[in-house]
Chains A and B, each alone.
Chain A
Amino acid sequence: EVQLVESGGGLVQPGGSLRLSCVASGFTFRSYEMNWVRQAPGKGLEWVSYISSSGSLIYYADSVKGRFTISRDNAKSSLYLQMNSLGAEDTAVYYCGAGSGNDYWGQGTLVTVSS
């Protein structure tokens, strides 16, 4: 059974940092492209970042470029998102998605940026 489990969310003050993790199981993680997608409360889905299966190709949405860093550890079947300089606009549920088109999703982790 395919499983993606995100963690690392929580309450953080504006300007702060968080590191999200996503642990995968039930499929060959190293063969899959991965994405982070977020959803602000009551809003739609927003693509955040992409990383190729090897980690050699990385893309970011303009809204997070320069502040967020995506990475992966294929030996640990894990995906990460380092988030710096967080603002209220970054408050959202963050999902990891497996596959170029997000074939599989985790249940998400909530990030709340507030003082």
Chain B
Amino acid sequence: SYELTQPSSVSVSPGQTARITCSGDILAKKYGRWFQQKPGQAPVVVIYRDSERPSGIPERFSGSSSRTTVTLTISGAQVEDEADYYCFSAADNNRVFGGGTRLTVL
């Protein structure tokens, strides 16, 4: 089965750029997506197909991909972006989430 590896935490000051990486062999052949989860809420997609942004997601959220790594970038992070972020990918009979990254903006 596949695994996705993320840093457990990232911390930035408001207005700075936050970058969260996600690595795994599955990403060499399949798209990655990113979910944002705030306390007590269900996850929300913020990036799909490595770099596509759903409607309603602020432009400061962007995604990129290189070989076996996808990266979520939040340009000019806001206090309201503080949340847990999970990468996800799917291939064949496997679906896998990364372990999650706690983003702190303060």
Contact = CB atoms under 8 A, between A and B. Distances in A.
Contact of A44 (B33, B93, B97): B97
Interface stretch (A10-18, A22-30, A73-81, A94-102): A94-102
A101 B43 contact: no
Interface string B22-58: 0000000000010101000011110010000000000
B44 to A, nearest CB: 8
Nearest to A44: B100
Categorize the interface residue count of chain A: 10 to 19
B90 interface: yes
A70 to B, nearest CB: 12
A35 interface: yes
Contact of B42 (A35, A50, A108): A108
Given A45-B35, A47-B96, A101 B86 contact: no
Interface of A: 35, 37, 44-47, 50, 59, 62, 95, 100-103, 105-108
Ranked 5 nearest A-B pairs via Cβ:
A105-B42, A44-B100, A47-B95, A59-B93, A45-B97
Given A44-B84, A59-B93, A100-B90, 20 more contacts: A35-B95, A37-B97, A44-B99, A44-B100, A45-B35, A45-B37, A45-B97, A47-B88, A47-B95, A47-B97, A50-B93, A62-B1, A95-B42, A95-B43, A101-B48, A101-B90, A102-B43, A102-B88, A105-B44, A107-B42
